[in-house]
Amino acid sequence: MNIIKILVILILIYFVYRLVRIFSSRRMVESRERTQAGARSGGEDLVQDPCCGVYVPKSQSYSRQIEGQTLYFCSRECCDNYLERKK
Ligand SMILES: [Zn+2]
C-alpha cells in the first residue's frame, strides 16, 4: 500500500513538474514575442521612398505633403525627382 502511495505521489510530482516547465517555456516565448513586437512598433517605423524604393526610418526621412497624402523620401533630391517625374 505504502509503495503504491509513494509511486502515485511521484507520478503527480512528475506531472506537476512537466506542467510547470511547459508553462514557463510558453511564457518565455510569449515575452520574447512581446519584446520583438515592442521593438517593431516602439522602434523606428520604416517608410518606403516612392522615388528610389529605399526604406528609411520615418524620423530621418524627408516628408512632404503631396496631393493630400504624406510621402516620405530618403532625401530632398528624391522628392524633387519624384515631383519632376510626376509632371
Ligand atoms: Zn530615395
**Phi/psi zone of residue 62: left (φ > 0), alpha (ψ -120 to 50 degrees), beta?**
beta
Do 64 and 32 reside in the same domain of the chain? no
Question: Do 34 and 50 share a domain, yes or no?
Answer: no
Whether residue 15 contacts residue 26, with contact meaning beta carbons closer than 8 Å, is answered with: no
Q: Give strand pairing partners of 70.
A: 65
What's the structural domain count of the chain?
A: 2
CA–CA gap between residue 63 and residue 76 (Å, rounded): 9
In this structure, are residues 72 and 61 in contact, taking their beta carbons and an 8 Å threshold? yes
Using the mean position of ligand 1's atoms as its centre, give its distance from the Cα of residue 36 in Å: 28
Q: What spacing in Å lies between the alpha carbon of 39 and ligand 1's midpoint?
A: 25
Percent of the chain with pLDDT strictly greater than 90: 66
pLDDT at 41: 47
Give distance in angstroms: CA of 9 to centre of ligand 1: 68
Tell me which residue has cell 503631396: 66
For residue 8, what are the domain limits?
A: 1-43
Shared domain for 37 and 52, answered yes or no, is no
Strand partners, 69: 66
Summarize the confidence of residues 50-57 as an average pLDDT. Answer: 94
Q: Are residues 2 and 24 in the same domain?
A: yes
Which is more confidently placed, 80 or 25?
80
